[in-house]
Chain A
């Protein structure tokens, strides 16, 4: 969890306009201590390599412009990371999280996102042999779409906003989102996503569930990617998010009156950024 915590903290600070508020050298040392020989990163020193922590690491290195330092300390490491990610792809196009083989659309998104940031996706290096099979990956994502327009964690699984983000994000990174969904598909998905907003202004992850400020990212980023962000009440969402902050000691909670944590702090701020809250930096929804 610690690599993820650093990412959430760092991303939040960037959006707040304070990208240097955490010690860069300390973060680099910690990140490199999590590197395995196969190019994957664990969640902390001594933890097994996992595609999620590898993706978080790539995002951290991107945010602090750390790839030169990475290559200086471990020559050829970017390709090793890419090789680790590629080795996790399964025959059906999806990705396993680690050597034990669990698959999840989160892992697939993480693979495409990390390779994109490394500039090592096939379309980013067209003269080189592809490291992964992108058409197989996107075919798997498309198989996860349901009749309601949403996406699940695997084919046939219930639609969930988190999985919608990973699937829509993966298609966006692969450059297939517009062609696959079309306007009708975007309308159908947009309708399901817009129904996630409840009377409080907050969003839930699926029908009959409680609102949670983190869905200000998973839902709203998906709506932004399909051009349907205007289908929710952004003013009410903004007020809900601000009700989730501690105005005395800082930080955001999942919902009003709960205790704050860094995960919800990050996703509250990314949500505010998506709806254009003044003073925050703009976040890329994919």
Chain B
């Protein structure tokens, strides 16, 4: 996807490209120099891509707010303890609560 030289490209958690005027004001920005990222837009060579109008050097700007309540899978994996019988499986309530709370903590860690 091509952008004009002065546009800022924003990646969201769904990989949607948002126009700059649609972004929330004051959103934190992380600029990744093109040279340091292997990401290329479909059909566009990396050297034609992008620089952030807010941060100066060429790069891809990522809206860090997109990390709020991360929907990425993991880090855990569904599993059963070795030797455990189906009848012995129990719902681990507190672990699930902690897991969900940890998703919100992703925001804090990413935007500090």
Q: Is B truly associated with A?
A: yes
Tell me how far the C-beta of B75 lies from the nearest C-beta in chain A, rounded to whole angstroms: 7
What string of 1s and 0s marks CB contacts (under 8 Å) between B74-110 and chain A?
Answer: 1111111100001101111101111111011000000
Are B104 and A260 in touch, CB under 8 angstroms?
no
Which chain B residues numbered 24 to 54 have a C-beta less than 8 Å away from chain A? 24, 27
Residue of B24, B75, B99 with highest tally of chain A CB at under 10 A: B99
Residue of B18, B23, B89 with highest tally of chain A CB at under 10 A: B89
Choose among B18, B65, B75, B100 the residue that contacts A265 (Cβ–Cβ < 8 A).
B100
Does A66 sit within 8 A of B, measured CB to CB?
no
Does A279 sit within 8 A of B, measured CB to CB?
yes
Given contacts A21-B100, A45-B65, A250-B98, contact A242 B91 (CB under 8 A): yes
Given contacts A46-B22, A250-B76, A256-B80, contact A13 B89 (CB under 8 A): no
Are B95 and A250 in touch, CB under 8 angstroms?
yes
Are B79 and A13 in touch, CB under 8 angstroms?
no
Which residue of the partner chain B has the closest CB to A5? Answer: B69
Q: What CA separation (Å) do A245 and B91 show in the bound complex?
A: 8
Residue of A43, A239, A262 with highest tally of chain B CB at under 10 A: A262
Choose among A246, A277, A280 the residue that contacts B79 (Cβ–Cβ < 8 A).
A246
What string of 1s and 0s marks CB contacts (under 8 Å) between B2-25 and chain A?
Answer: 000000000011101010001110
What string of 1s and 0s marks CB contacts (under 8 Å) between A1-34 and chain B?
Answer: 1100110010011001110011100100010010
Tell me how far the C-beta of B40 lies from the nearest C-beta in chain A, rounded to whole angstroms: 23
Tell me how far the C-beta of A103 lies from the nearest C-beta in chain B, rounded to whole angstroms: 21
Are B79 and A247 in touch, CB under 8 angstroms?
yes
Chain A interface residue count, CB cutoff 8 Å, equals 49
Tell me how far the C-beta of B97 lies from the nearest C-beta in chain A, rounded to whole angstroms: 5
Are B73 and A46 in touch, CB under 8 angstroms?
no
Q: What CA separation (Å) do A243 and B76 show in the bound complex?
A: 13
Are B97 and A16 in touch, CB under 8 angstroms?
yes
Are A1 and B104 in touch, CB under 8 angstroms?
no
Tell me how far the C-beta of B99 lies from the nearest C-beta in chain A, rounded to whole angstroms: 3
Choose among B14, B22, B99 the residue that contacts A249 (Cβ–Cβ < 8 A).
B99
Q: What CA separation (Å) do A45 and B22 show in the bound complex?
A: 8
Are A251 and B24 in touch, CB under 8 angstroms?
no
Chain A residues within 8 Å of B70, by CB = 5
Given contacts A245-B91, A262-B100, contact A45 B78 (CB under 8 A): no
Are B91 and A265 in touch, CB under 8 angstroms?
no
Given contacts A1-B71, A247-B95, contact A259 B76 (CB under 8 A): yes
Are B23 and A46 in touch, CB under 8 angstroms?
yes
Can you name 22 A-B residue pairings with CB atoms under 8 Å?
A: A1-B71, A2-B66, A2-B69, A2-B71, A9-B104, A18-B97, A21-B97, A21-B101, A44-B13, A44-B66, A45-B23, A47-B12, A239-B86, A243-B78, A250-B98, A251-B76, A253-B77, A259-B74, A259-B75, A260-B73, A260-B99, A277-B91
State the A residues within 8 Å of B (CB).
1-2, 5-6, 9, 12-13, 16-18, 21-23, 26, 30, 33, 43-47, 239, 242-253, 255-263, 265, 269, 272, 277, 279-280
